[in-house]
Chain A
Amino acid sequence: MKLIVQLEDLLHQFQRAPKREDLRLSAWRIVVHESEVVALGIKDNSPGSVYTPPSYRQGESGDVFLVWGDGTCSQAMVQLPFSRESEYWLKALEQWRQASYEDPDAVHIPAPESLPLVAVEDRAVQKIISGDDKILFEQVDRWLSDKPSKAKMQGSIQAAWGYRHVRTSTGLAVTYQQSQFVSWFSFDSLIGGGFAKRRLIQPMEQEELWAQTVNQYTWMQKDAPPVGPQTQVILAPSMTEDMLRQFVLPNFSGDRVIEGQGAFSKESFQEQKQVFHEELTLAIDPLRPLELGSYLVTPEGVPANQTILVQDGQLKTPFLKVKDAVRWGAKPTAVPQGTAGLYLKHGAEVPWVKALEGVEDGVLILSVLGLHTQDSVSGSYSLSAPHSLRIMKGQIVGKTDVKLTGNFFADLAASTTKTALSDLDTHPYLVLRTGVQSL
């Protein structure tokens, strides 16, 4: 029997007619994922090496959140039981009961609401899972035949498909299919490109991504003049995403704001304090079709909706899960899936090609070392970025090594900061004036 069915039966039973009164449930919610994943990798120019062989993964697991008769709650990770013991679930309930704790703000289970229509499944991905996986092998073959001759290539393609089940004691019962397609490749472990959405990559997107990465690799072979104090810094979309992950996500998490552990206080949000430049907007949007950060409903049973975190540079709200929403006195918001679903935009955003034309003296940062070590609360960074690309008079001219020093919150507040639209990424290029010096 499916895990979701076993859990639903169990929790219904212990809500309505428990075998023991101390195990009576007053409310609950369940989220279960059933997934199948196929993947293939390249290591050191070798397809399907012993470290990256074609692989298949099957999983069925989930989380339960329980509210007991006495108002305490419990959480547990669950999977299909190995034991055929008839009392398996009763024993599990006893252990969950033992793990119960008081958290009055967490016990609210939202009533069901109508769900938005969001495309989160691409049938073409399901075909790969069910055996028509030629596309993965062909893609790997093409990469290896087209790669720059001297480059040592690493890469991976992964297709995932499955069901997501969300059930609550208040009557929500949703099951839907979702898919994911992720591919990435790198040359000499220095330059790389990647794609991650809920749909297959289109041939045109693959071509553009490949051409951009090969061009960057070619530029990387040529040394360029060092940067100066006036050099503009441009973060590539993947770098913008990394900065958002390190500095923005943790500081907009409702629980951290409420507990005083974030960069911005609760009062700052209530006063809608101006923290970024007035042209900047930051939002969570889980409604965009087939994006990795898109979903229909959160694991807590909250329908997907758009949430503006910062508008015109002013704090609007942190993202709030159900418990945080109760404490905040507001409705739960959308929640980002990592940085997927998080969108930063400048009012005067222009396409990257146009922005590049306007850069007289700049450096394009493709990656940095050690970003995860920086203090997310202070926003300060001190990073080395070997293998960056020098821009002069609107043209990329070669490779340079730099060190960046600054504060990401100050960057987002500066009038000199702009975004530029990427054709290949949901995150923008970020054009900054910050501390930069040769490494």
Chain B
Amino acid sequence: MEQKEIKALVESVLAEAKRLEGYFIVRAQSRREWSMRLSNGRFERVSTGEDSGFGVQAFTEKGASGFATSDVLEEGIGRKLVEKALQLARRNEEIGSKPNRTIWEAPRVEEEVANSAQKGFEEVPLVKLEEMVMNLHARLRGAFPEGAWQSSYRQIEEVWCIGRSDGTLVSFVIPRAVLMHQGTVRNQGKAQSTLIHRSGMDATLLFEELEDHVLEKKAMDRAEFARAVCSAPQLPRGHYPLIIDYGLAKGLAHEAFGHAVESDHMNESVLGEKGKLRQGLRVARPGVDIIDGPLVGDWANQPFSANGLPRQTVTIVRNGLLEAGLGDIFSAEEAGMPITGAGRAESYGHIPLPRMSNIRLLVERMLPLTPGEHLMDEVKAVRETLLEHGELREGEKNLLLLGYRGGQVNPKTGDFVFQCDGIIDVAEPDLPIYQPSIFSGKILSALEAIRGGLGEGCYDAIGSCGKGGQSVASSGGSHRYLLMDADQQVSLGGEQA
């Protein structure tokens, strides 16, 4: 469905809503997805799909809200949803829900952002996409036949329009695409898997991969590493100087700090006090910045919030001091932070929540690093750079954590855990490898332990944010690697008793 058609629908529903008392936010979305998965040389699935619908959030004059959605995009349905949402809002008012009238204060916005994709959604026919992905998959299998490989490709186009009772009408298109290789390798009776990806806006990324085979090389390196991990020893539990890659750094910034400064979380955040952001709190050493904001062409790009406000770039931590949070229209003021247009939702059928977009962690003190063509070349370069700058902590393990497998944080207590694909001790010239082990501790201690960056910024670590049971694209990164001092509140490992 086209941007124009969706806008016209939202406008007509809002026109109908004018006869009713209250305030309405109407969200319409049309989503197209083409996806395919290959396993060990054969297509397992090729799928096309469309999903579109309305979501209407209604507010009574007193500020009680109700929400109604349907996956049928039709004027008549839109009108019914307006009535249903208002009926639920009135019901909500009766039970003494906490009123929220901040939406009346939101500035009126009218804007349209066109599709920024280089190639239109259907520009490259599905048959051609299948051929390209099969070609890439077959090459990888040929290059690393010892692995069991799955390759998948998804391209998505989301057309959004958000309208409000005050005449706000914004619409935008989000294109995204990702190619992934997942490998399972076995060694000495043990199995390990590895997953890597390359993301972009559209099928251009397949043409680029066919040209430079960057992902294929990474996949082979990671599979080789996974094979070594199978037979690697476990690491004794301890507190070590660490070097984490930018995927893990994104995880740390997203899970540990980003969520803790979202305006709806201030009552339960380690970075909040009495429900307000602890602005000015020293959370890191001078020179450390954490920034969140959309980047055009990025996996998690979104120019407007799902409440129709422009998405701003926010410096959360500046020079080690907590400066700002990610505020949406409904809770920013209460949380003691400005509104930054942070409301995002998985789809028209979900209530928007304050969320991150692309979050990056940067350190003023940066050591140069030339990225290596192969993984272990780069690890050697990391060791040499650290040696050259006197940054290897002598007499102890200096552990490089590779690959981000996900993590979790309790924002109330500040406890975090992250998992990696494997660990290398760069203090030893022969670079011994260890089994992956949880990287855990207290988020403020972890941030305080960051002492420098290694290499230029890499912000294309992608994922999916599961806050509130929704699934929303997220991304971010840091320098190619971050250096962290050993800290008693941050540990790695845990041997079986």
Interface residues of A (CB under 8 A from B): 43-44, 46-61, 74-80, 82, 95-96, 98-103, 137, 140-141, 152, 188-190, 229, 255, 259-261, 263, 369-370, 372-378, 380, 382-384, 386, 403-406, 434-437, 439
Q: Which residues of B, 30-67, contact A by the 8 Å Cβ criterion?
A: 30, 33-34, 36, 39-40, 42-53, 57, 64-67
Chain A residue at minimum C-beta to C-beta distance from B343: A51
Query: B264 — which chain A residues lie within 8 A by C-beta?
Result: 43, 51
23 contacts between A and B (CB under 8 A): A46-B98, A48-B95, A48-B98, A51-B468, A53-B64, A53-B88, A55-B66, A55-B351, A77-B51, A79-B71, A80-B71, A98-B125, A99-B48, A103-B43, A190-B410, A260-B148, A263-B191, A369-B409, A370-B406, A370-B408, A386-B413, A435-B495, A435-B497
B279 at the A/B interface (Cβ < 8 Å)? Answer: no
Ranked nearest first, the 3 interchain pairs of A and B with the lowest CB-CB distance are A77-B49, A373-B419, A48-B97
B69 at the A/B interface (Cβ < 8 Å)? Answer: yes
Interface residues of B (CB under 8 A from A): 1, 5, 30, 33-34, 36, 39-40, 42-53, 57, 64-74, 84-85, 88-89, 91-92, 95-98, 100, 125-127, 130, 148, 150, 184, 190-193, 237, 264, 267-268, 330-331, 349, 351, 353, 405-410, 412-413, 415-419, 435-438, 440, 468, 493-497
State the CA gap A414–B92 with chains docked (Å). Answer: 53
A53 touches B417 (CB 8 A): no
State the CA gap A435–B496 with chains docked (Å). Answer: 4
Decide yes or no: A58 and B71 within 8 Å by CB, A261-B150, A382-B438, A437-B497 being known contacts.
yes
Query: A373 — which chain B residues lie within 8 A by C-beta?
Result: 405-408, 417-419, 438
Q: How far is the CB of A321 from chain B (nearest CB, A)?
A: 11
B47 touches A49 (CB 8 A): no
Decide yes or no: A48 and B494 within 8 Å by CB, A190-B412, A386-B415 being known contacts.
no
State the CA gap A263–B193 with chains docked (Å). Answer: 11
Query: B191 — which chain A residues lie within 8 A by C-beta?
Result: 263, 377-378
Query: B436 — which chain A residues lie within 8 A by C-beta?
Result: 375, 382
Query: A259 — which chain B residues lie within 8 A by C-beta?
Result: 39-40, 148, 150
Chain A residue at minimum C-beta to C-beta distance from B182: A261
State the CA gap A374–B439 with chains docked (Å). Answer: 12
Decide yes or no: A53 and B92 within 8 Å by CB, A79-B52, A99-B47 being known contacts.
yes
Q: How far is the CB of B471 from chain A (nearest CB, A)?
A: 13
B49 touches A76 (CB 8 A): yes
State the CA gap A111–B130 with chains docked (Å). Answer: 31
Query: B193 — which chain A residues lie within 8 A by C-beta?
Result: 261, 375-377
B410 touches A386 (CB 8 A): yes
Query: B39 — which chain A residues lie within 8 A by C-beta?
Result: 255, 259, 261
Query: B412 — which chain A residues lie within 8 A by C-beta?
Result: 188-190
A51 touches B34 (CB 8 A): no
Query: B66 — which chain A residues lie within 8 A by C-beta?
Result: 53-56
16 extra interface residue pairs, beta carbon distance < 8 Å, beyond A370-B417, A373-B407, A435-B494: A48-B97, A50-B100, A51-B331, A78-B50, A98-B126, A99-B46, A101-B36, A101-B130, A152-B267, A369-B410, A373-B408, A375-B192, A377-B191, A384-B440, A405-B495, A435-B497
Decide yes or no: A403 and B65 within 8 Å by CB, A370-B407, A373-B417 being known contacts.
no
B417 touches A52 (CB 8 A): no
Decide yes or no: A261 and B184 within 8 Å by CB, A58-B70, A61-B51, A383-B438 being known contacts.
yes
Q: How far is the CB of B343 from chain A (nearest CB, A)?
A: 10
Q: How far is the CB of B54 from chain A (nearest CB, A)?
A: 10
B351 touches A51 (CB 8 A): yes
State the CA gap A82–B64 with chains docked (Å). Answer: 31
State the CA gap A44–B265 with chains docked (Å). Answer: 9
B88 touches A54 (CB 8 A): yes
Chain A residue at minimum C-beta to C-beta distance from B74: A82
Query: B150 — which chain A residues lie within 8 A by C-beta?
Result: 259, 261
Q: How far is the CB of B8 from chain A (nearest CB, A)?
A: 12
State the CA gap A382–B418 with chains docked (Å). Answer: 10
Query: A255 — which chain B residues lie within 8 A by C-beta?
Result: 39, 44
A437 touches B405 (CB 8 A): no
Q: How far is the CB of B487 from chain A (nearest CB, A)?
A: 15
Q: How far is the CB of A407 from chain B (nearest CB, A)?
A: 8
Decide yes or no: A59 and B415 within 8 Å by CB, A82-B52, A260-B148, A405-B497 being known contacts.
no
A57 touches B68 (CB 8 A): yes
Query: A403 — which chain B residues lie within 8 A by C-beta?
Result: 237, 438, 440, 494
Within 8 Å by CB of A103, from B42, B125, B407, B435, lies B42
B46 touches A101 (CB 8 A): yes
Chain B residue at minimum C-beta to C-beta distance from A56: B68
State the CA gap A325–B31 with chains docked (Å). Answer: 33
A50 touches B410 (CB 8 A): no
Query: A434 — which chain B residues lie within 8 A by C-beta?
Result: 496
Chain B residue at minimum C-beta to C-beta distance from A96: B48
Decide yes or no: A56 and B84 within 8 Å by CB, A80-B72, A373-B406 being known contacts.
yes
Decide yes or no: A56 and B69 within 8 Å by CB, A47-B96, A51-B351, A261-B184 being known contacts.
yes
A48 touches B65 (CB 8 A): yes
Decide yes or no: A55 and B67 within 8 Å by CB, A47-B95, A76-B49, A96-B48 being known contacts.
yes
Of B57, B91, B268, B408, chain A has the most CB atoms within 10 Å of the CB of: B408
A54 touches B92 (CB 8 A): yes
Query: A383 — which chain B residues lie within 8 A by C-beta?
Result: 417, 438
Query: B40 — which chain A residues lie within 8 A by C-beta?
Result: 259-260
B95 touches A141 (CB 8 A): yes
Q: How far is the CB of A164 from chain B (nearest CB, A)?
A: 16
Query: A260 — which chain B residues lie within 8 A by C-beta?
Result: 40, 148, 184
State the CA gap A102–B36 with chains docked (Å). Answer: 13
A82 touches B437 (CB 8 A): no
Q: How far is the CB of B39 from chain A (nearest CB, A)?
A: 5
Chain A residue at minimum C-beta to C-beta distance from B52: A82
Chain A residue at minimum C-beta to C-beta distance from B134: A101
Decide yes or no: A53 and B438 within 8 Å by CB, A373-B419, A437-B494 being known contacts.
no
B95 touches A137 (CB 8 A): yes
Query: A406 — which chain B residues lie within 8 A by C-beta?
Result: 496
Query: B494 — which chain A residues lie within 8 A by C-beta?
Result: 382, 403-405, 435, 437
Of A46, A74, A384, chain B has the most CB atoms within 10 Å of the CB of: A384
A405 touches B48 (CB 8 A): no
State the CA gap A53–B66 with chains docked (Å). Answer: 5
A75 touches B45 (CB 8 A): yes
B46 touches A75 (CB 8 A): yes
State the CA gap A289–B489 with chains docked (Å). Answer: 49
State the CA gap A46–B191 with chains docked (Å). Answer: 48
Chain A residue at minimum C-beta to C-beta distance from B85: A56
State the CA gap A263–B191 with chains docked (Å). Answer: 7
State the CA gap A43–B71 with chains docked (Å). Answer: 26
Chain B residue at minimum C-beta to C-beta distance from A80: B72
State the CA gap A48–B100 with chains docked (Å). Answer: 11
Q: How far is the CB of B125 from chain A (nearest CB, A)?
A: 6
Query: B419 — which chain A residues lie within 8 A by C-beta?
Result: 370, 373-374, 382
Decide yes or no: A79 and B497 within 8 Å by CB, A55-B88, A373-B417 being known contacts.
no
State the CA gap A188–B269 with chains docked (Å). Answer: 11
Q: How far is the CB of B231 from chain A (nearest CB, A)?
A: 12
Q: How far is the CB of B214 from chain A (nearest CB, A)?
A: 24
Query: B495 — which chain A residues lie within 8 A by C-beta?
Result: 405, 435
Query: B406 — which chain A residues lie within 8 A by C-beta?
Result: 370, 372-373
Query: A61 — which chain B residues lie within 8 A by C-beta?
Result: 51, 71
Q: How far is the CB of B277 from chain A (nearest CB, A)?
A: 16
State the CA gap A404–B126 with chains docked (Å). Answer: 47
A55 touches B440 (CB 8 A): no
Q: How far is the CB of A11 from chain B (nearest CB, A)?
A: 16
